[in-house]
């Protein structure tokens, strides 16, 4: 369980958030792009872009919180891996679900990783 890994992962998430926003932002002016502003596909693309930032921030907060956590080494590793899994998969699942709607059923993967990590972090703060 290393704070350095989560600082790096968090800032990498920020970079991917900026880059994905730049790429999809080139098409946002088109009213009919991906079915229009309120379409399922377009909403998921926006969510994927923002998820890079959100899960990136969670990783940075985890790194800052690590010294205050009172978790066993095993529980700390599980919390750490859950956040890294969430960062690696949340935006990917958003983009995949925008491409093929049935892939939305993959959302339990990143959600479980983030939820478990947050629960363990809260437990470690008690």
List pLDDT tens digits, range 87-97.
999 999 999 99
Residue 42 tokens read as 């377009």
Residues 6+ apart with CB under 8 A from 66: 1, 3, 6, 76
Q: What is the distance between the alpha carbons of residues 9 and 88, in angstroms, rounded to a whole number?
A: 9
> Residue written as tokens 């998921």?
44
Contact indicator for 58, 122 with CB cutoff of 8 Å? no
> Residue written as tokens 């919390």?
79
* Nearest residue to 60 via CA among 119, 11, 115, 2: 11
Residues 11-58 pLDDT 10s: 999 999 999 999 998 888 888 888 888 899 999 999 999 999 999 999
Q: What is the distance between the alpha carbons of residues 32 and 9, in angstroms, rounded to a whole number?
A: 34
pTM over 0.85: yes
In the chain, where are the structural domains located? 3-125
């Amino acid at each position: 369980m290393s704070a350095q890994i989560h600082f790096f992962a968090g800032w990498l998430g920020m970079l991917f958030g900026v880059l994905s926003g730049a790429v999809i932002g080139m098409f946002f002016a088109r009213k009919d792009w991906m079915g229009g502003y309120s379409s399922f596909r377009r909403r998921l693309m926006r969510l994927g872009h923002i998820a890079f930032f959100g899960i990136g921030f969670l990783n940075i907060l985890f790194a800052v919180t690590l010294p205050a956590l009172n978790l066993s080494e095993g529980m700390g590793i599980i919390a750490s891996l859950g956040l890294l899994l969430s960062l690696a998969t949340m935006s990917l699942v958003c983009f995949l679900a925008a491409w093929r709607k049935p892939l939305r059923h993959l959302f339990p993967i990143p959600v479980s990783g983030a939820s478990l990590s947050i629960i363990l972090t809260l437990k470690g703060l008690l």
